[in-house]
Structure 1
Amino acid sequence: MAADDRLTRSEDDLARRLRDAHRRVRVLTLPQEQRARLARRLLTICDLAKHDLPRAAGRLDLFLLDLDALVSDTPSAGNIAEGD
């Protein structure tokens, strides 16, 4: 039995969104200090998810909005095709 078999639907959804957020942060072309700050913020959300799932989901929503704004402000963001 896989560990994922024990997750509820909301836990599974949050886990997938956190994984995707980690991937997005990892591939950003930002100064190391800024990427590290984003990674620490994301790890804080992951830690919160262990204790308060709804609050972690809300914080992740805000994090993703900030991440979207950051990506759209970068000069290379115009080169990314829709849907990528």
Structure 2
Amino acid sequence: MESDGQLELYETVAARLKEAHSRVRTLDAPESERTALTRQLLVITAAAKHDLAAAARRLERLIAELDARS
């Protein structure tokens, strides 16, 4: 069974992925750029199935990149 910490990380990553997808969808950027960012999010989602901690780090870097654009 998963530890409580692992379950909390799953919940956090899921919420952050949802937030990031929403931000990318509404980003004022060319369609090609939004498409590339969406692909990055899909890669992070797939990676989370194998290495949740690494996926969380990648997601935080992507969110920081989105924050820098704002």
TM-score band w.r.t. shorter chain = 0.7 to 0.9
TM-score, L = length of structure 1: 0.73
Unaligned runs of 5+ in 1: 1-6, 72-84
Identity %: 43
Unaligned runs of 5+ in 2: 1-5
Q: What amino acid is aligned across from residue 10 of structure 1 in structure 2?
A: L
**Equivalence for 1:80:** none
**Equivalence for 2:9:** 10
**Equivalence for 1:67:** 66
Q: Which runs of 4+ in 1 moved over 2 A?
A: none
SS in 2 for 1:66: helix
Shift of 1:8: 1.3
Higher relative CO (Cα under 8 Å, sequence separation at least 6) belongs to: 2
**Equivalence for 1:57:** 56
Q: Which has the larger radius of gyration?
A: 1
TM-score, L = length of structure 2: 0.86
Task: Report how many residues are paired.
Answer: 65
